[in-house]
């Protein structure tokens, strides 16, 4: 069965005694708190996902971990590198024979793996200088040496008007012939607070009449764009061509942002646009996203009452936690229910948690892996 936020609200209203939803403060906030608490208690099987695990090229090749990865709750990582390099990591108490490390770049999390060889990527744009950059409805285009992912700077810009938003780099001289139809284009995009990015398009041109475009409406992991840095992947083989594009003669690259916030926002940023040959790598993991947006994409946000929940078997677990938090709120504000009802829903939640874990033993909280060494974030 597909459960929606409307189901959750109706069931909550039916279970509360002596009060109604109108007397609750911030129902959607309570739902989000319930989601966080349930996620902290249980590895919900319905949130278990499998995704591509891309390599990116910063100071060295790194595995780019999913944004929605629940702490370090991966089940399995499978990497196939060059020269018959193969590495399979599973989340157990046993130490890995490989030295695996995690690095942090402005909220982005990457995994370093020793001994793996990966094809070198081609850097398409250097943001150490912004002299060749122009924009559509973009102003104050400058390099930012404080907030970046790779090298020494990203490029930042502000919106001058609502509508089409684009950033274009001209005067390039790139040869992508060896990557034609084989590579993927990776880049980091920073969405400012209140920004709503529904699509992103990359145009690579020989000239204004001969180019190709690739569009996506998700980040590299198939989840929606969010505020902050997003890693984007676009596969060359999905490109749509106009005119006669010459891959050995790339002169301009344009980034188009489909922002639907209806606001003029400052603080958009782009960094580390590269063309990379792929290595077959995947990750199976537990996601902390529990909602599906209107486009069918996993999301951490509630859009409206029609927003779907990912969970099915774990629905009652979330409902009982929500009842407990709602009763606790009402009790704290001196409104019915009594403290006994707060305790009742706490007990119901614990019972449902035990039942869920007994039915699905793999959902019990997993042991923390022992082969990570966490480094301090780069300042």
Q: Facing residues of 144 across strands?
A: 154
Kind of pairing between the strands at 268-277 and 154-159? antiparallel
Q: What are phi and psi of 307, to 5 degrees?
A: -60, 130
Alpha-helical regions (H) of 16-154: 27-41
Residues 101-114: pLDDT tens digits? 667 766 677 777 76
Rounded-to-integer distance, Cα 373 and Cα 57, Å: 20
Q: In which residue are the tokens 């033993």 written?
A: 361
Residue 1, pLDDT > 90, answer no
Q: Facing residues of 155 across strands?
A: 143, 270
* Assigned CATH topology for domain 123-278: Jelly Rolls (2.60.120)
Rounded-to-integer distance, Cα 185 and Cα 326, Å: 46
For residue 84, what are the contacts with CB-CB under 8 A and spacing of at least 6? none
**Of 217 and 163, the one with more pLDDT:** 217
pLDDT score recorded for residue 76: 83
**Percent with pLDDT over 90 in the chain:** 44
Residues 199-239: pLDDT tens digits? 999 999 999 999 999 999 999 888 899 999 999 999 999 99
Domain residue spans of the chain: 5-45+291-363, 49-120+282-289, 123-278
Q: Which two tokens stand for residue 179?
A: 């990557």
- CA-nearest of 369, 378, 321, 328 to 94 is 369
């Amino acid at each position: 069965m597909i459960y929606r936020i409307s189901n959750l609200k109706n069931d909550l209203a039916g279970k509360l005694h002596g009060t109604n939803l109108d007397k609750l403060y911030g129902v959607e906030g309570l739902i989000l708190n319930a989601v966080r608490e349930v996620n902290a208690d249980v590895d919900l099987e319905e949130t278990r996902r499998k995704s591509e695990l891309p390599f990116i090229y910063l100071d060295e090749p790194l595995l780019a971990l999913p944004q929605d990865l629940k702490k370090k709750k991966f089940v399995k990582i499978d990497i196939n590198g060059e020269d018959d390099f193969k590495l399979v990591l599973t989340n157990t108490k046993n130490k890995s024979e490989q030295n695996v490390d995690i690095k942090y770049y402005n909220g982005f999390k990457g995994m370093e793996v020793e001994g793996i060889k990966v094809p070198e990527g081609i850097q398409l744009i250097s943001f150490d200088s912004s002299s060749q950059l122009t924009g559509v409805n973009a102003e104050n285009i400058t390099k930012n040496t404080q907030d970046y992912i790779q090298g020494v700077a990203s490029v930042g810009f502000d919106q001058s008007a609502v509508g089409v938003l684009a950033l274009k780099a001209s005067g390039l001289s790139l040869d992508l012939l060896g990557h034609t139809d084989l590579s993927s284009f990776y880049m980091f995009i920073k969405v400012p607070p209140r920004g709503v990015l529904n699509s992103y398009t990359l145009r690579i041109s020989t000239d204004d009449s001969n180019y190709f475009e690739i569009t996506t409406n998700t980040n590299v992991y198939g989840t929606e764009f969010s505020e902050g840095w997003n890693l984007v992947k676009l596969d060359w083989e999905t490109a749509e061509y106009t005119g006669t594009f010459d891959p050995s003669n790339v002169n301009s690259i344009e980034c188009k942002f489909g922002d639907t916030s209806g606001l003029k926002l400052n603080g958009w940023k782009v960094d580390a646009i590269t063309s990379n040959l792929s290595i077959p790598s995947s990750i199976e993991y537990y996601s902390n996203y529990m909602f599906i947006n209107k486009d069918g994409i996993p999301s951490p946000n509630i859009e409206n009452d029609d927003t779907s929940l990912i969970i099915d078997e774990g629905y009652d677990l979330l409902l009982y936690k929500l009842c407990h938090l709602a009763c606790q709120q009402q009790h704290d504000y001196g409104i019915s229910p009594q403290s006994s009802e707060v305790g009742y829903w706490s007990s119901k939640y614990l019972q449902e948690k035990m039942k869920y874990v007994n039915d699905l033993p793999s959902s019990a909280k997993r042991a923390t892996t022992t082969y990570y060494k966490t480094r301090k974030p780069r300042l």
